[in-house]
Structure 1
Amino acid sequence: MGQQPPPPHALSGIGLTALWALHHRSLHLHDPVAERVLAQIGSGRGTPGPLMGRRTSIMAHYFTQRARLFDAEIRQFLSRHPRAVVVTLGEGLDTQFWRVDDGRLRWIGVDLPEVVRLRQRLMPPSDRVTHVACSVLDPHWMEQVPRDGPLLITAQGLFMYLRPRQVTELLRACARRYPGDTMIFDTSPWWFLVLSRLKWLRCGGFRIPALSSSLSPRGLARLRSRLPAGTSVSHIPTRDASGPFAAFQRLGHRIPFVRRCVPATVRVVFPVCENR
């Protein structure tokens, strides 16, 4: 904990992607913890640098609204289940715990060892936060999850970097391990995937890494068919979208020819009794 945090230019790959997301959440959300973390590493609100982007791009605007939607879903879940445990897969440098904490929340963050080490150097300590340093595809993280209350698993900005088969296998593993519990994740439509592979998704000097899979609201029935019978798979519509594509985000999932082109935020409730 006494080590000096790395400067932004020293980060690369996963760490840089996490820093970029943290920077834009600090700009557009009320997130004092994110602001303090950025100040530690010399990338505060006043000095974002060309790599992070000084203005709000369409991409940054979308990611901020996605964070608000996940925050709202977690708060709603906690209001119904005060003893809940939240597991966040691929946590990055997100400071979501401090945005949604109700004083009782137990939080488990899963990410690669290099990201966990960075979090432990930068984030405020809490005895209600547990870090698990492994791939989200490694079943080791499941062994760290207590089973004494309702469970919400979130995967924000993660599944589009996994191959479709990996997503399905992870969901099936969670269905076996956590019957009756809930997972929330977001996906990207096909054109996100294409633009990312062409290296055309940018914000300032930052390029969004190439995606590995896509899924739109139209594809949810296909996803449901690959999961255990009785699994509930539903699209969570964006409630308070604003900006140039607000109507597209709020209503696109209802329009047949547009449903393939909008991002999907998905709620999965695993069946209590899995039919194998």
Structure 2
Amino acid sequence: MTPADEFAQQKVALTGVSETALLTLNARAAEARRRDPIIEDPMAVRLVDSIDFDFAKFGPTRQDIALRALAFDTRALAYLNKHPSATVVALAEGLQTSFWRLDSALPGKKFRWLTVDLPPIIDIRKRLLPNSPRVSVCAQSALDYGWMDSVDTSGGVFITAEGLLMYLEPDQALDLIAQCAKQISRHSVAL
């Protein structure tokens, strides 16, 4: 963690849909702490430990969230094994720690990462997650298609929207998918 002291917890204030980033983070960290985890996610554990927030308010953790992360990781790894210099675009990434899970799983580590999320989430990510020269951010809505101009398509593109589409109106979701297909060449999508 760059600016954040590992021993001093950081206050995090998110509301509405953005607060679900904390719920999913906590679920992945809880699963990673199990003796027999279905997903290894030390960065999620580290992040939960660094945040001053009442995670108990979410109730019992849900294993399906870790299973969803595992499914997305599996798809991304398959793509990155074939396209090691690809750019992964994570739409509405929240407090996902996918970059670090994939980074530890892949030899060579050439892929790049673009996080597209709302400014409050980007602020938290910048405060609490380690920097990497291969990670860049766009602090904006995924529905503001200007982020597409930031995507390096030369090595291929893998687009994820792990926790986004369920919060969109059907027309918005379809338009987002259509715009990705129209504006970004050589891509694969995991929704």
TM-score range, shorter chain: 0.7 to 0.9
**Aligned pairs (5 A) from 1:15-30:** 15-28=18-31, 29-30=39-40
Cα deviations across residues 114-149 of structure 1 (Å, max 9, x unaligned)?
A: 110111111111111001101101011001111211
Q: Work out whether residues 84 and 149 of structure 1, in 8 Å CA contact, stay in contact via their aligned partners in 2.
A: yes
Aligned to 2:11: 6
Aligned to 1:148: 154
Q: Read off the aligned partner of 2:42 and give its amino acid letter.
A: P
Structure-2 separation of matches of 1:88 and 1:2: 23
Q: TM-score, normalised by structure 2?
A: 0.85
Aligned to 1:83: 85
Structure-1 separation of matches of 2:185 and 2:151: 14
Q: Are residues 1:124 and 2:134 paired?
A: no
Structure-2 separation of matches of 1:114 and 1:41: 15
Structure-1 separation of matches of 2:173 and 2:189: 12
Q: Work out whether residues 112 and 133 of structure 1, in 8 Å CA contact, stay in contact via their aligned partners in 2.
A: yes
Q: Sort the Cα spacing of 1:2 and 1:78 in 2 relative to 1 into closer, same or farther, 3 A.
A: closer
Q: Read off the aligned partner of 1:31 and give its amino acid letter.
A: D
In the TM superposition, what is the alpha-carbon distance from 1:169 to its structure 2 partner? 1.0
Match of 2:165 among 159, 165, 168: 159
Aligned to 1:111: 117
Structure 1: unaligned runs, 5 residues or longer = 186-276
Paired residues in the alignment total 175
Q: Work out whether residues 87 and 158 of structure 2, in 8 Å CA contact, stay in contact via their aligned partners in 1.
A: yes
Name the SS of the counterpart of 1:118 in structure 2.
Answer: helix
**Aligned pairs (5 A) from 1:92-103:** 92-101=94-103, 102=106, 103=109
Q: Read off the aligned partner of 1:75 and give its amino acid letter.
A: L
In the TM superposition, what is the alpha-carbon distance from 1:49 to its structure 2 partner? 4.6
**Aligned pairs (5 A) from 1:229-244:** none
Higher relative contact order (CA 8 A, sep 6+): 2
Q: Read off the aligned partner of 2:24 and give its amino acid letter.
A: A
Match of 2:50 among 33, 40, 45: 40
**Aligned pairs (5 A) from 1:163-182:** 163-182=169-188
Q: TM-score, normalised by structure 1?
A: 0.60
Structure-1 separation of matches of 2:68 and 2:102: 15
Higher helix fraction (1 or 2): 2
Q: Read off the aligned partner of 2:174 and give its amino acid letter.
A: T
Asked which structure has the greater CA Rg, the reply is 1
In the TM superposition, what is the alpha-carbon distance from 1:16 to its structure 2 partner? 2.2
Structure 2: unaligned runs, 5 residues or longer = 32-38
Cα deviations across residues 32-86 of structure 1 (Å, max 9, x unaligned)?
A: 111111111145xxxx653133x44xxx222211111001111111111111110
Q: Over the residues paired in the alignment, what is the CA RMSD in angstroms?
A: 1.8
Aligned to 2:36: none
